[in-house]
Amino acid sequence: MGLLSGIRSPEDVRRLTPAQTTQLAGEVRAFLVDQVSRTGGHLGPNLGVVELTIAMHRVFSSPRDTFVFDTGHQSYVHKLLTGRQDFSALRKRGGMSGYPSRAESEHDVVENSHASTALSWADGIAKANRVAGRRDRHVVAVIGDGALTGGMAWEALNNIAAADDCRLVIVVNDNGRSYSPTIGGVAHHLDTLRTTRGYEAFLDWGKRTLRRTGAPGRFAYDWLHGLKKGLKDVVAPQGMFEDLGLKYVGPVDGHDEVAMEHALRRARAYGGPVIVHAITEKGRGYTPAEEDIADRFHSVGAIHPETGLPVAPSRFGWTKVFADEIVQIGRRRPDVVGITAAMLNPVGLAPFAKEFPDRTFDVGIAEQHAATSAAGMAFAGLHPVVAVYATFLNRAFDQVLMDVALHSAGVTFVLDRAGVTGDDGASHNGMWDMAMLRIVPGLRLAAPRDEATLRSALRAAVDVDDAPTVVRYPKGALTDPIDALESLDGVDVVARHTPGEGAAAGRRVLVVGVGSMAGAALAAGESLAAHGLEVDVVAPTWVLPVPEALVKLAGEHDLVLTLEDGLADGGVGATVAQRAADQGVRTPFVHRGVSKSFLDHASRDQVMTAQRMRAEDAVRAALAALARD
């Protein structure tokens, strides 16, 4: 493409004329639609920041000036302008990350794709620049209005406001949405800013009036000061930021590159913390995204670029089962309420919200608040169901521990995208939850293996009113049903294999499949039986606390093989082994799970292979352990 193909660094962007920047913006949008429709990725957010990002690279000099993107899913344009234009393997193993990546470029800094953290990063970098005497450097943080609903952003603002000699520019990318429309007081405040553009024009009128009348200087000053003060809270609600001690510029049309440049140059010249309020449109320039009201284009799989429709319609998935079952539960239980952290549609609470709008609470990107607010609701007689991605519960661990569990609050946490998710990379894999939550006193955790066990786990979870409960399930399509042969005190036996006639006296192996790993456990059991072993395969739905029946079974076998899609170190298998050892069970254990490391982006299957978590890997490990014994 014309100009874009010649962009190898930000210096190339700065050499363009204003007219050329308009052409470049069009080429960038066409490139994104063409490429992301093939690979999948965060399309809508990036279409909304094209001119904003171009302006940033024309006003500031990255990497000397540091750019920090909150969550980073809107960094595709930044990647293009810093010489990364091969999107053919976006979010695939060996290809470009869907988020900033230090391994890719010196222009990338923050890789964590959890929201509301950018301002704290920027505060730290700006203070380090000041201490080191680097007075010629700026830090530019881009944060969306959705991320400003997170408490951590306001902790940072409180500190940034006091650092009046730090060269820090905060670009608020205000599109009125995160995954869905932004909610809460901050959203209402920014909405007011968007719709009260008459403030500067009114002051200009006042200044022109004074010039015409020739009023004396002191009178003119007092008159204008009084006028400005009187209007401040009426048509200039930016006073909220200014009262914190932060200079405010805006609102600015985020799709007017020249206006954005002007605003950013003003901010750069100030020499202290400045907020630049940019009004943008998510999905700008792509009709299917502009007309979408459900934010289907926030993150997409492969789509037809002309229509925006999926190339391969998704199969009925885990989230849809939860969405259906929680509505059924809500009809029976008027005390059940739903809580989401800015992800009503992605976690499946939208149908519940539609039927029970007064019993659904979207708290914004504020998982800590969600957990503690839920504890308060439980105290007052409700049973809250907090639905979040598994990786995001990490942010609320203290609240689960000290506000929910300590107070024996009946709160159910539903963890979507639990286990290995793959293509979003290190910070989005939901692999930490079981190892983290196993230390919470009284907490009960279910890892259903199929639709039936998910539904039953949800029903059981909301019946617990004296402790936190957790139901976790993976991303994507449902697995095939796995029926139980029998249930031993809550532990489902899903297969038994006895060696055939003529086989050597078989040793007994217990295979434990946790949640979505039940299928792999079945396959491993069949393979071990083919080696002349007697094998029992179990798939307990409730895994924390460890069922007594599981400890008893472990003592009746010569080896226990556990498979889980969370951390192997400190996970469910390790917890079962410890519990068994505490009761004098000497059976050796072999655990298959995720290693204690950060996983690069790749498909789920590729991650499972690299982590040696396939059935054949488990079988090799079990046979090796038996050979050593």
Average pLDDT over residues 192-197: 50
pLDDT of residue 237: 46
Closest CA to 84 of 67, 66, 71, 98: 98
Q: For tokens 């293509």, what's the residue?
A: 423
Q: How far apart are CA 388 and CA 626, in angstroms?
A: 41
Structure token pair of residue 259: 């206006």
Q: How confident is the model at residue 71 (pLDDT cuts 50, 70, 90)?
A: confident
Counting Cβ atoms within 10 Å, is residue 136 exposed (0-12), middle (13-18) or buried (19+)? exposed
Q: How far apart are CA 567 and CA 513, in angstroms?
A: 14
Cα-Cα-Cα-Cα dihedral sign, residues 165, 169, 170, 174: positive
pLDDT of residue 572: 95
Active-site positions? Answer: 282, 367, 395
Residues whose CB is less than 8 angstroms from the CB of residue 51 and which lie 6 or more positions away in sequence, other chains included: 21, 25, 254, 255, 256, 257, 260
Q: In the sheet where 247-253 sits, what is the strand order?
A: 66-69, 139-144, 168-174, 274-279, 247-253
Structure token pair of residue 322: 């939860």
Q: For tokens 């050593």, what's the residue?
A: 628
- Give the DSSP H/E element, type plus range, for residue 99: none
pLDDT of 156 over the 60 cut: yes
pLDDT of 144 over the 70 cut: yes
DSSP 133: T
pLDDT of residue 335: 97
Structure token pair of residue 463: 């019946």
pLDDT of 296 over the 80 cut: no
Q: What is the rounded (10 degree) CA torsion for 169, 175, 180, 185?
A: 70
pLDDT of residue 232: 44
pLDDT of residue 177: 58
Q: How far apart are CA 457 and CA 369, in angstroms?
A: 25
- Strand partners for 513: 563
pLDDT of 53 over the 60 cut: yes
Q: How many Å separate Cα 324 from the centre of its chain?
A: 23
Average pLDDT over residues 250-266: 90
Average pLDDT over residues 135-153: 87
Q: How far apart are CA 505 and CA 416, in angstroms?
A: 44
Structure token pair of residue 110: 């923050």
pLDDT of 219 over the 70 cut: no
Q: How confident is the model at residue 235 (pLDDT cuts 50, 70, 90)?
A: very low
pLDDT of 236 over the 60 cut: no
pLDDT of residue 464: 97
Q: How many Å separate Cα 180 from the centre of its chain?
A: 13
Closest CA to 308 of 31, 36, 25: 36
Average pLDDT over residues 91-120: 86
DSSP 148: G
Q: Which is more confident, 59 or 39?
A: 59
380-430 pLDDT, tens digit per residue, is: 999 999 999 999 999 999 999 999 999 999 999 999 999 888 777 777 778
pLDDT of residue 161: 85
The answer to whether the CB of 495 falls within 8 A of the CB of 546 is no
DSSP-based three-state secondary structure for 1: coil
Binding-site residue set: 73, 113-115, 145-147, 175, 286, 367
DSSP string of 388-436? EEHHHHGGGHHHIIIIIITTT---EEEEETBB---TT-TTT-B-SHHHH
Binding-site residue set for thiamine diphosphate: 73, 113-115, 146-147, 175, 286, 367
pLDDT of residue 242: 67
- Give the DSSP H/E element, type plus range, for residue 485: none
Closest CA to 432 of 317, 610, 572, 542: 572
Helix, strand and coil in the chain, % to nearest 5: 45, 15, 40
Phi–psi pair at 575, nearest 5 degrees? -70, -40
Q: How far apart are CA 163 and CA 118, in angstroms?
A: 16
Report the percent of the chain where pLDDT is more than 70. 84
> What is the pLDDT of the chain when averaged over all its residues?
85
Average pLDDT over residues 494-519: 84
Q: Show the DSSP H helices in 490-530 as ranges.
A: 518-530
Q: How confident is the model at residue 230 (pLDDT cuts 50, 70, 90)?
A: very low
pTM for the model:
0.82
Binding-site residue set for Mg(2+): 145, 175
Q: How far apart are CA 610 and CA 598, in angstroms?
A: 13
The answer to whether the CB of 507 falls within 8 A of the CB of 625 is no
Closest CA to 394 of 121, 113, 144: 113
Q: How far apart are CA 126 and CA 128, in angstroms?
A: 5
327-377 pLDDT, tens digit per residue, is: 999 999 999 999 999 889 899 999 999 999 999 999 988 899 999 999 999
Residues whose CB is less than 8 angstroms from the CB of residue 212 and which lie 6 or more positions away in sequence, other chains included: none
pLDDT of residue 487: 94
- Strand partners for 385: 338, 412
Q: Which is more confident, 237 or 71?
A: 71
